[in-house]
C-alpha cells in the first residue's frame, strides 16, 4: 500500500500561503500537516487556531494537526472548530493521556499520540488500541530542516511489533528529516504516513517531489 503523504506547512512560504495550499490541492498529497508550537513545550512559536481556520478555507485535503504545546487538552474543541481532521498530542505533554485521547474521539477527529525521539514506544502499550496514529518524531521537535535521527528505523520496527501484539489499527507517522533518499526505507520498515517539509517546499518542482514520495 502506498504511504500517506502529509506535507508540512512549517516549511511553506507563509507570505504566499494560499498559493502553496493551491499547489498542494492539485498534487498527490493526501493530508496537510500543521505544526502548532507554543514556545514552551518546544523552543519555537508557529501558528494558532485562526491560521488553521484560514487554511481550512482553502485546503481540499484533510488537516493533520500536530500539537507541540503544553496542556493540549485545553484546546481540543477549538482545533476541531478551526477545521482539524486529525489531532495529535504529545505523550510528554499529556498528564492524563487517556482522558485527552477520549476527548479527541468525542470531537470526531482521528486521534494521534506523538513521541519525542528519546521517549520509549513501549510507554504506549496501555493505550495503543485507542489510537488511530502514532507520530514518531524523527528529529528533536521545534524546527524544520533537521536530519533524520538514525535510530528512527529501529523505533518504527519496535512500534510495529507493539501495534501487532495489541491488535491495534494505529498507523505509524514519521515527522522530521524525511526526504527522497530515506523515504523508501522508512516505508519498508513500516511507516504509513510521511510528513515532508523542506524536501517538498524547497523543491524546484514540489508536485513532482510529492508524486515521487507517494510512489516510494
Tell me the domain boundaries of the chain: 4-214
pTM of the full predicted structure? 0.96
Give 170-213 pLDDT, tens digit per residue. Answer: 999 999 999 999 999 999 999 999 999 999 999 999 999 999 99
Which residue in this structure is represented by grid cell 494560499? 18
Report d(CA 215, CA 141) in Å as an integer: 27
Diameter over CA atoms, the chain: 46
206 — phi, psi (to 5°)?
Answer: -55, -40
Catalytic member of 35, 38, 64, 132: 35
Show the cell assigned to 112.
494521534
Report d(CA 160, CA 174) in Å as an integer: 13
Packing angle of the helix pair 17-25, 49-58 (nearest 10 deg): 50
181 is catalytic: no
Sheet containing 86-90, strands listed edge to edge, beginning at the edge strand earlier in sequence: 4-7, 193-196, 171-175, 133-137, 110-115, 86-90, 63-68, 32-37
4-214 has which CATH code?
A: 3.20.20.70
Give 126-173 pLDDT, tens digit per residue. Answer: 999 999 999 999 998 767 667 899 999 999 999 999 999 999 999 999
38 is catalytic: no
pLDDT of amino acid 144: 67
Show the cell assigned to 177.
528529516
Catalytic member of 30, 38, 132, 175: 175
Give 117-131 pLDDT, tens digit per residue. Answer: 999 999 999 999 999
Report d(CA 63, CA 155) in Å as an integer: 25
Amino acid at each position: 500500500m502506498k504511504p500517506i503523504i502529509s506535507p508540512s506547512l512549517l516549511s511553506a512560504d507563509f507570505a504566499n500561503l494560499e498559493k502553496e495550499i493551491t499547489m498542494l490541492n492539485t498534487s498527490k498529497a493526501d493530508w496537510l500537516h500543521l505544526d502548532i508550537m507554543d514556545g514552551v513545550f518546544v523552543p519555537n512559536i508557529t501558528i494558532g487556531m485562526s491560521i488553521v481556520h484560514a487554511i481550512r478555507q482553502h485546503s481540499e485535503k484533510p488537516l493533520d494537526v500536530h500539537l507541540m504545546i503544553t496542556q493540549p487538552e485545553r484546546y481540543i474543541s477549538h482545533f476541531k472548530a478551526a477545521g482539524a481532521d486529525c489531532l495529535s498530542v504529545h505523550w510528554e505533554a499529556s498528564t492524563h493521556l487517556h482522558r485527552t485521547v477520549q476527548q479527541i474521539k468525542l470531537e470526531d477527529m482521528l486521534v494521534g499520540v506523538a513521541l519525542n525521539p528519546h521517549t520509549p514506544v513501549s510507554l504506549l502499550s496501555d493505550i495503543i488500541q485507542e489510537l488511530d496514529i502514532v507520530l514518531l518524531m524523527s528529529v528533536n521537535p521545534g524546527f524544520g530542516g533537521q536530519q533524520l535521527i538514525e535510530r528512527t528505523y529501529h523505533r518504527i520496527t519496535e512500534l510495529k511489533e507493539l501495534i501487532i501484539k495489541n491488535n491495534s489499527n494505529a498507523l505509524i507517522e514519521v515527522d522530521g528529516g524525511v526526504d527522497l533518499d530515506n523515504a523508501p526505507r522508512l516505508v519498508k520498515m513500516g511507516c504509513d504516513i510521511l510528513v515532508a517539509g523542506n524536501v517538498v517546499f524547497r523543491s524546484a518542482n514540489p508536485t513532482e517531489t510529492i508524486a515521487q514520495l507517494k510512489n516510494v
